[in-house]
Amino acid sequence: MSTSESSTAVYLGPTLDEIERAREVVAQVIQPTPMERSSYLEQLLGAPVWLKAENLQRTGSYKIRGAFYRLSRLSEEEKARGVVAASAGNHAQGVALAASRLGIRATIFMPAGVALPKLQATRAYGAETVLEGTTFTETLAAAQAFTARTGAVFIPPYDHEDIITGQATLGLEILDAVPEAETILVPIGGGGLISGVARAAKLRAEAEGRDIRVVGIQSENAASYPPSLAAGEQLSIGLEPTIADGIAVGRPGDLNFPIVQRYVDEIVTVSDDDLARAILVLLERAKLVVEPAGAAGVAAILAGKVRASGTTVAILSGGNIDPLLMQRVIAHGLEASARYLTVRIMLPDRPGQLATISQILAQVSANVVEVLHTRHHNGLQISQVALEISVETRGPEHRAEVLQHLRDAGYEPEVEQAE
C-alpha cells in the first residue's frame, strides 16, 4: 500500500515520490519511447494531438514497466522460487524479459491457440512456456495451480500495487515530454495502465495547480468499466468477440477499480470497425504498426467519442499484432473507411457477363482486385452464376457511385462484409 494511505484506507495508488523511484528502477530496462505529433488527428479533433508510441517499447508494449518493477521488488527467497504468469501476449513478454534481466526463472502459461509470433517472442526472452487451455480462463487456472504446486510467485497483469506503480512511470514520461497536455487517452482492460497513468497525471497536475483529463477507452464488446462505475461496484460481464484481445477483460481489477473511480474522468467505448480504421490510419499517416488494443485512443478520436479539450495525448499501448490478424484488420479498416468494396451479383449463365461487369466498373474508375465466378452458391437458379468481385474505392461517395452505376445497369449488387 502507498505510504500516503493509511492501512485501513482504500488503496488509491502510489505517491509521486514512489513513482519517481520506480522510474529509476525501470530505466534499467525500458527505452523512452517517441512522442509523435499527428496533424491528421489534430484536424479531426480540433486540438493538438500527440501519440505516445509505447508500441515501440521493448517487448512491443508498456507491460515491461510494471513487470520489471514488480520482479525487482521480490525478495531473494521469492526470486529463488521463480515466477509464473498467464498471458496470451504482452504481459508474457514483459515478464519473460524482466525475469531474464534479473536472473529469475520464469514459467509462462499461454492458451493453446496463441499466435505463433507471441509464443516465439516469449521463448526468445528465455521463459519456459506451457501451452494449456483453449480459453484464457483455463490458462489462468493452470498457472494458479502451478503456483500452488511449486511455490512460484504469481505475477498478475494489472491487479497489484507494484504493477500499477511501474505503469505509472509512463504518466510522468508523457508529462515530461508534453507538459501542456490537458487530456490523456488510455486503453483500458483490467485497469493496470490507466490506474497508474491517471494517478501520476493527476498528482503532477495537482502539484502544478492545474487540471488534466484522463479518458479510458474500452472495446464495446469487452466494456466492464461503464456498468461497474454506474453500479458503484465491480461487475463481471460476458465478453463478446473482439479484435482487441489486449483489453478484453471481463471484470475490473480489485485495486484498479477505486483508482479509476477517483481519477478517471470518462470512459468511452469503440467498435472493432473503429479499431480497424484506427490501425489503418496509424499505418498510413504515422507509419506506425499498432495492435488493436493499442489503437483504442485513436479509434475514439476517429469515431468522434472524444471532445476537443486542449492538447491531447493518445497512448499507443502496444504493437504486437499477428501478421495474419493484420491482414484481416487492414481489410476491415479499408471497408470501414469505404475504400474497399466486395459485392455479389447474380448473373445469367452466358458468355460475356463478366466482361460487361468489368466494363461498368471501369467507367467509374473502380479498380478490381479480386474476382470469384462460380455456379455453386446457395440460392442460385440453374441458369445463373454468382460473381463476387472486390474493388478499391476512394471513399463513401465513390463507393455509393459504384453501387448506383451497377443498379442503373440493371444489376442487384449485394454488399459483402470483409471477414
CATH of the domain at 116: 3.40.50.1100
Cβ–Cβ contacts within 10 Å for residue 393, how many? 23
Work out the percent of the chain whose per-residue pLDDT is above 70.
97
Indicate whether 302 belongs to any domain.
Answer: yes
C-alpha cell at 227: 456498468
Number of H helices, E strands in the chain: 16, 14
pLDDT at res. 109: 95
How far CA 142 is from CA of 104, 106, 193, 253, 292, in Å, comes to 20, 15, 25, 20, 27
Residue numbers of the domain that contains 92: 64-154
Classify residue 41 as exposed, middle or buried by CB count within 10 Å of its CB (0-12, 13-18, 19+): buried
- State the number of CA atoms in the 13 A half-sphere of 199 facing the CB: 32
Q: Are residues 139 and 94 in the same domain?
A: yes
Which of the listed residues 100, 134, 154 is the one where a domain comes to its end?
Answer: 154
User: pLDDT for 391-413, tens place per residue?
Assistant: 989 888 999 999 999 999 999 89
| 250 or 5, higher pLDDT | 250
Q: Are residues 96 and 144 in the same domain?
A: yes
Average pLDDT, integer, range 163-184: 97
Contact 271, 303 (CB under 8 A): yes
Q: Are residues 55 and 170 in the same domain?
A: yes
User: pLDDT for 272-289, tens place per residue?
Assistant: 999 999 999 999 999 999
Average pLDDT, integer, range 70-85: 97
pLDDT at res. 116: 84
Q: Helix (H, G, I), strand (E, B), or coil: what is residue 380? A: coil
Q: Could you tell me the pLDDT band of residue 3, with boundaries at 50, 70 and 90? A: very low
Q: Are residues 174 and 228 in the same domain?
A: yes
pLDDT at res. 163: 98
Q: Are residues 207 and 248 in the same domain?
A: yes
Contact 214, 265 (CB under 8 A): yes
Contact 108, 88 (CB under 8 A): no
Which of the listed residues 113, 132, 154 is the one where a domain comes to its end?
Answer: 154
Question: What does the alpha-carbon distance between residue 223 and residue 238 come to, in Å, rounded to a whole number?
Answer: 9
Per-chain mean pLDDT for the chain: 92
Q: Could you tell me the pLDDT band of residue 378, with boundaries at 50, 70 and 90? A: low
Highest mean pLDDT among 2-16, 202-216, 346-360: 202-216
User: pLDDT for 46-73, tens place per residue?
Assistant: 999 999 999 999 999 999 999 999 999 9
Which of the listed residues 291, 313, 333 is the one where a domain comes to its end?
Answer: 333
Indicate whether 3 belongs to any domain.
Answer: no
Alpha helices in 266-352 (DSSP H): 272-281, 296-302, 323-336
Provide the terminal-to-terminal Cα distance of the chain, rounded to the nearest Å.
Answer: 47
Q: Are residues 137 and 218 in the same domain?
A: no
Question: What does the alpha-carbon distance between residue 243 and residue 129 come to, in Å, rounded to a whole number?
Answer: 24
- State the number of CA atoms in the 13 A half-sphere of 341 facing the CB: 26
Q: Looking at residue 402, which CATH number applies to its domain? A: 3.30.70.260
Q: Are residues 74 and 29 in the same domain?
A: no
pLDDT at res. 25: 98
Average pLDDT, integer, range 129-137: 86
pLDDT at res. 4: 43
pLDDT at 144 over 80: yes
Q: Are residues 240 and 384 in the same domain?
A: no
Q: In total, how many domains does the chain have?
A: 3
Q: Are residues 217 and 171 in the same domain?
A: yes
Work out the percent of the chain whose per-residue pLDDT is above 90.
73
Indicate whether 359 belongs to any domain.
Answer: yes
Question: What does the alpha-carbon distance between residue 101 and residue 72 come to, in Å, rounded to a whole number?
Answer: 10
pLDDT at res. 245: 87
pLDDT at res. 1: 42
Classify residue 36 as exposed, middle or buried by CB count within 10 Å of its CB (0-12, 13-18, 19+): middle
Indicate whether 408 belongs to any domain.
Answer: yes
pLDDT at res. 331: 79
The size of the chain, in residues, is 419
Question: What does the alpha-carbon distance between residue 407 and residue 416 come to, in Å, rounded to a whole number?
Answer: 16
β-strands 106-110, 35-37: how paired? Answer: unpaired
Q: Could you tell me the pLDDT band of residue 419, with boundaries at 50, 70 and 90? A: low
- Ramachandran class of 380: left when φ > 0, alpha when ψ lies in -120 to 50, beta otherwise: beta
Average pLDDT, integer, range 369-381: 76
Q: Could you tell me the pLDDT band of residue 377, with boundaries at 50, 70 and 90? A: low
Q: Are residues 147 and 24 in the same domain?
A: no
**Closest among 165, 221, 223 to 190, alpha carbons compared:** 223
User: pLDDT for 219-264, tens place per residue?
Assistant: 999 999 999 999 999 999 998 999 998 898 899 999 999 999 999 9
Indicate whether 10 belongs to any domain.
Answer: no
Q: What is the DSSP letter of 61?
A: B
Indicate whether 7 belongs to any domain.
Answer: no
Q: Are residues 179 and 31 in the same domain?
A: yes
**Which H or E element spans position 25?**
helix 16-26
User: pLDDT for 184-197, tens place per residue?
Assistant: 999 999 999 999 99
**Closest among 14, 7, 38, 15 to 297, alpha carbons compared:** 38
Q: Are residues 247 and 391 in the same domain?
A: no
Indicate whether 91 belongs to any domain.
Answer: yes
Least confident of 53-67, 147-161, 252-266, 364-378: 364-378
C-alpha cell at 245: 484481445
Indicate whether 1 belongs to any domain.
Answer: no
